[in-house]
């Protein structure tokens, strides 16, 4: 047992006072002490600042472009365009159309990305309106932001079975998503008109011309998008109206008219730079590919719009003799040959520079051809397209023959650029044609599932 020194009252009071003072100082300093810095963050309220207008617009582009590219790639595997050889089971689910709500690959590659693009476009458009008031309409960035928003909604409508917006409310059906898209496209067109009108006041001729060209691009981008959305709503008249307004229009393969590409560069599998790259190089590379055309209706077409190597020229993860796709028509590295240019060469990542076509006059022309049907002008257009792949022209085809041929040519023209899933859904819904692959898949080891749109991921369920 320890002995205890009697407590001196004076000393005890002094000690108690010292402790109390210390505690007061420490407590008072707590709130300051707990302040931490985060140099990598911009808090939400800080964005209500006109200094951030350009940063926000660039963010719209920065999130849309990878979302579009990754959606194009993975929807290719989900539909009949590509066969997925990657051995991770979530990729196989996608290939088989048995995607569960827990499939993180799909969520990360398609659903989340499209919503990031949609959210950024919507929220930046809102901030422009808040910060600039009505003058936002005369800002070209605002017009383009609205067009990107329209495409994000259009892609969501084509891809996803149904989806909430911003984690709230009742899920919107595709027709509602397309309607939302058209609203934004219309606003984009109106804004582009304002931009063009305001450009008349720009004294510098070069600047004025650049602004007017930008307004043209924004307007055409929105027109093609609106036509695409309207077609998916089976609203032929509206689709035709938007499509016919696209200028310069498609004339011929040599004179294709308007085209707008999403741009990529420096893609690599590490860090942030992946967001800037065209993902096809990761999945179709000389060192070993994760996707092929083998077993799909796109193998062996001998069509430059669907180019591929000879079987086995590039190994795939599971080995064997497979047809590996090369840069198709929609990619800027398209070379017009039936073998095509590889997405990436053996010496580097050149393929990551390949841009992907987002909107074009030829798409507007295809929309017209589908919405108007079997007319003489459209048959002429169709036969021109058939000639690219070496097919003979159709002569007085029936409507069924016409639409079958049109579907075939459209599939080739827009190969792996994100159109196919929306097309298959539209054909089934409005043309009564089911082109989804069914039954045994690829050698008979398993069968295709029956999904025809991407499901709602688990993150949306709680």
Partner 1 sequence: MSLLRIRLAHAGLVAAMLLMAVAGGLSAQTTGSIRGLVVEATTNRPLANAQVTIVGTNRESLTNAAGEFLMVGVPAGSHTLRVEMLGYATTEQQVSVTAGDPLRVTITLAVSAVTLDQIVVTGTPGATSRRSIGNAITKLDASTMTQQTAITSLTELMQAKSPGVQILPNSGTLGAAADIRIRGAASLTNTKPVVFIDGIRYNTEDLGSFTPSGAGTTSFSGQATSAFNFINPSDIESIEIVKGPAAATLYGAEAANGVIQIITKKGSRGEQTMRWDIRTELAQNDWALDIPDNYTTCTAALQAAVDGAGNPIWPGCQGVSTGTILRENPLRDDPASLREGGVQRVSLSARGGGARYSYYFAGDLTQENGIFHNNYNDRNSIRANFTLQPNDWFDVYMTTSYARGNLRLPVGDEAAQGMLLSAFRGRPGRVTGNPLNSGWATTRAEQANAYNNTTKSDRLTLGTTFNVTPFSWFRNRLTLGMDYTTSLAQVLSPPGSVDADFAGVLSAGLVAQRVPRDFVYTVDYTGSVERPLLTDLVSTTSFGAQAVSRRREIVSATGTGLGAPDITLISAAASTVGGSAFSEQKSVGFYIQEMFGWKNRVFLTGAIRADDNSAFGEAFDWIYYPKAQFSWVLSEEPAVSGLLESARINSFRFRTAWGEAGQAPSPFSASQIYTVDRAVLPDGSVVSALRPSSFGNPELVAEHGSEFEVGFDAGLLDDRLGVEFTYYSKKMKDVIVAVSAPGSSGFAGAFYGFTASVLENLGETANSGVELGLSMSPVRTARFAWDANVSLATNSNELVDFGDARTELIVSGQSYGSVQRHREGYPLAGYWFTVPLRDASGAPIPLTPTTVQLDTLQYIGPSAPTREISFANTFTVLRDFRVFVLLDHKGGHYLWNYKEFNRCALNQNCERVNDPALANHRDRPIWTATNAHGYWIEKADFIKLRDVSVSYTLPSRITQRFRANAATLTLAGHNLAMWSDYSGIDPEVNGYGNRAFGRADVYPVPMLRRWSAALNFSF
Residue 456 backbone dihedrals phi, psi, to 5 degrees: -80, 125
Which residue lies nearer to partner 1 by CB, 23 or 380?
23
Q: How far apart are CA 110 and CA 66, in angstroms?
A: 10
Q: Does 390 bind partner 1 (CB under 8 A)?
A: no
Q: Does 188 bind partner 1 (CB under 8 A)?
A: no
Of 201, 395, 445, 450, the residue at the interface with partner 1 (CB under 8 A) is 445
Instruction: Please report, as residue ranges, which positions from 90 to 109 form the binding site for partner 1 (by CB under 8 A).
Output: 102, 104-105, 107-109
Stretch that binds partner 1, among 83-91, 188-196, 198-206, 425-433 (CB under 8 A): 83-91
Of 42, 197, 237, 251, the residue at the interface with partner 1 (CB under 8 A) is 42
The two structure tokens encoding residue 144: 């383009």
Count Cβ atoms within 10 A of the Cβ of residue 383 and give its class: 0-12 exposed, 13-18 middle, 19 or more buried. middle
Q: Are 277 and 265 in contact (CB under 8 A)?
A: yes
Q: N- to C-terminal Cα distance for the chain?
A: 60
Instruction: Please report, as residue ranges, which positions from 323 to 382 form the binding site for partner 1 (by CB under 8 A).
Output: 344, 346-349
Give the largest CA-CA distance in the chain.
Answer: 117
Taking residues 59 to 78 in sequence order and writing x for each that binds partner 1 by CB under 8 A, - otherwise, the string is: x-xxx-xxx--x--------
Q: Does 431 bind partner 1 (CB under 8 A)?
A: no
Which residue lies nearer to partner 1 by CB, 201 or 270?
270
Q: How far is CA 284 from the centre of its chain?
A: 19
The strand pair at 168-172 and 440-441 is best described as unpaired
Q: Does 51 bind partner 1 (CB under 8 A)?
A: no
Q: How far apart are CA 429 and CA 435, in angstroms?
A: 11
Which residue lies nearer to partner 1 by CB, 271 or 432?
271
Stretch that binds partner 1, among 132-140, 367-375, 377-385, 438-446 (CB under 8 A): 438-446
Task: Give the total of residues touching partner 1 (CB under 8 A).
Answer: 107
Q: Is the peptide bond before 150 cis (omega within 30 degrees of 0)?
A: no
DSSP letter assigned to residue 96? H
**Shortest Å distance, C-beta 250 to partner 1:** 20
Any idea what the Cα angle at residue 212 is, between residues 209 and 218, rounded to 5°? 140
**Shortest Å distance, C-beta 388 to partner 1:** 26
Q: Does 438 bind partner 1 (CB under 8 A)?
A: no
Q: Which of 352, 201, 230 is nearest to 282 (CA)?
A: 352
Q: Does 435 bind partner 1 (CB under 8 A)?
A: no
Instruction: Please report, as residue ranges, which positions from 254 to 293 form the binding site for partner 1 (by CB under 8 A).
Output: 260-266, 268-277, 279, 285-288
Stretch that binds partner 1, among 116-124, 186-194, 201-209, 243-251 (CB under 8 A): 116-124
Say how many C-beta atoms besides its own lie within 10 A of residue 20's C-beta: 10
Stretch that binds partner 1, among 22-30, 372-380, 389-397, 398-406 (CB under 8 A): 22-30
Which residue lies nearer to partner 1 by CB, 125 or 371?
125
Stretch that binds partner 1, among 196-204, 233-241, 424-432, 442-450 (CB under 8 A): 442-450
Residue 227 backbone dihedrals phi, psi, to 5 degrees: -65, -40
Of 20, 173, 337, 462, the residue at the interface with partner 1 (CB under 8 A) is 462
Say how many C-beta atoms besides its own lie within 10 A of residue 325's C-beta: 29
Q: Does 41 bind partner 1 (CB under 8 A)?
A: yes
Stretch that binds partner 1, among 39-47, 184-192, 195-203, 299-307 (CB under 8 A): 39-47
Half-sphere exposure of 204 (CA within 13 A, CB side): 4
Of 175, 315, 339, 372, the residue at the interface with partner 1 (CB under 8 A) is 315
**Shortest Å distance, C-beta 348 to partner 1:** 6
Nearby residues of 123 by Cβ (< 8 Å), 6 or more positions away: none
Q: Does 442 bind partner 1 (CB under 8 A)?
A: no
**Shortest Å distance, C-beta 400 to partner 1:** 36
Of 50, 135, 166, 337, the residue at the interface with partner 1 (CB under 8 A) is 166
Residue with tokens 């398209």: 334
Q: How far apart are CA 455 and CA 99, in angstroms?
A: 7
Q: Does 11 bind partner 1 (CB under 8 A)?
A: yes
Q: Does 37 bind partner 1 (CB under 8 A)?
A: yes
Residue 364 backbone dihedrals phi, psi, to 5 degrees: -60, -40
Q: Are 154 and 187 in contact (CB under 8 A)?
A: no
Which residue lies nearer to partner 1 by CB, 123 or 191?
123
Q: Does 225 bind partner 1 (CB under 8 A)?
A: no
Half-sphere exposure of 157 (CA within 13 A, CB side): 26
């Amino acid at each position: 047992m320890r002995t205890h020194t009697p407590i001196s009252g004076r000393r005890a009071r002094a000690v108690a006072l010292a402790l109390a003072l210390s505690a007061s100082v420490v407590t008072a300093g707590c709130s300051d002490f707990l302040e931490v810095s985060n140099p990598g963050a911009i808090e939400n309220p800080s964005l209500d600042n006109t200094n951030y207008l350009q940063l926000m617009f660039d963010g719209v582009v920065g999130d849309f472009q990878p979302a579009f590219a990754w959606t194009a790639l993975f929807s290719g595997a989900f539909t009949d365009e590509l066969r997925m050889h990657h051995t991770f089971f979530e990729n196989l689910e996608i290939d088989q159309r048995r995607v569960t709500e827990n499939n993180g690959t799909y969520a990360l590659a398609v659903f989340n990305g499209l919503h990031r693009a949609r959210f950024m476009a919507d929220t930046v458009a809102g901030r422009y309106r808040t910060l600039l008031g009505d003058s936002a309409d005369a800002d070209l960035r605002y017009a383009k932001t609205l067009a990107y928003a329209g495409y994000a909604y259009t892609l969501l409508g084509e891809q996803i079975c149904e989806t909430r917006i911003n984690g709230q409310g009742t899920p919107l059906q595709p027709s509602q998503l397309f309607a939302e898209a058209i609203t934004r496209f219309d606003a984009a067109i109106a804004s582009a008109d304002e931009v063009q009108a305001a450009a008349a006041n720009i004294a510098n001729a070069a600047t004025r011309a650049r602004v007017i060209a930008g307004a043209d691009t924004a307007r055409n981008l929105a027109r093609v998008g609106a036509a695409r959305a309207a077609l998916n709503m089976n609203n032929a008249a509206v689709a035709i109206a938007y499509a016919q307004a696209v200028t310069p229009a498609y004339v011929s393969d040599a004179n294709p008219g308007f085209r707008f590409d999403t741009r990529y560069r420096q893609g690599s599998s590490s860090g942030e730079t992946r967001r800037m790259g065209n993902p096809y190089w990761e999945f179709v590379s000389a060192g070993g590919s994760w996707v092929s055309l083998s077993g799909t209706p796109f193998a062996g077409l001998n069509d430059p719009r669907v180019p591929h190597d000879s079987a086995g020229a590039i190994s795939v993860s599971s080995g064997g003799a497979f047809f590996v796709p090369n840069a198709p028509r929609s990619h800027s590295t398209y070379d017009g040959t039936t073998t095509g240019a590889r997405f990436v060469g053996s010496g580097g990542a050149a393929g990551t520079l390949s841009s992907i076509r987002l909107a074009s006059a030829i798409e507007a022309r295809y929309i017209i051809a589908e919405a108007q049907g079997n007319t003489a002008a459209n048959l002429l257009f169709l036969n021109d397209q058939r000639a690219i792949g070496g097919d003979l022209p159709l002569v007085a085809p029936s409507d069924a023959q016409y639409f079958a041929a049109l579907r075939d040519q459209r599939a080739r023209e827009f190969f792996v650029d994100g159109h196919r899933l929306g097309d298959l859904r539209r054909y089934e819904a409005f043309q009564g044609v089911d082109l989804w692959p069914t039954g045994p898949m690829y050698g008979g080891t398993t069968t295709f599932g029956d999904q025809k749109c991407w499901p709602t991921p688990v993150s949306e369920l709680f």
